[in-house]
Structure 1
């Protein structure tokens, strides 16, 4: 495993989460797109917001996926309007 994988396993365990249920690539894609299209500091804040929304909506991988899709749609809308 690489350091990121090791960290995710350790952090997920500390938070009582199953690391196998996490979409790390999806989170990294989200953070990259937000950092490049909004601002770098927006990336971790957005990841946090997605986590909060997913927790509110049940916390399962589908809730994370839906929250992530909402943010990608917001990014696309902002790109289309120049906002």
Structure 2
């Protein structure tokens, strides 16, 4: 079974993030365990808020997180914020 282009992009991201994590003395699994959730978050920010703000939002999630577990919570907080704004826009 062949991989879809999306699967290949995630694998390439995974490889790069492992390399970048090692350069920053971070455990590779801290850098790779949230790939899909962060990609989904940045997609939603780019489509519903501001395209240039998407990667910066991912940066803020990381900056505000002291552990991989906090990353999950911070992704959820920002996703709720983006989704709340989308719901309000549709109701207006």
TM-score, with normalisation over the residues of structure 1? Answer: 0.83
Structure 1 equivalent of residue 83 of structure 2:
76
When the two structures are aligned, how many residues end up with a matched partner? 79
Structure 2 equivalent of residue 27 of structure 1:
38
* 1:10 and 2:19 aligned: yes
Divergent runs of 4+, >2 A? none
Aligned-pair RMSD on alpha carbons?
1.8
1:24-60 Cα distance to aligned partner (Å, 9 max, x none):
1111111111111112101111001111111xxxx21
The offset of 1:3, in angstroms, is 2.7
Structure 2 equivalent of residue 67 of structure 1:
74
Larger radius of gyration: 2
Structure 2, unaligned runs of 5 or more: 1-7
TM-score, with normalisation over the residues of structure 2? Answer: 0.76
Counterpart Cα distance in 2 of 1:67 and 1:44: 15
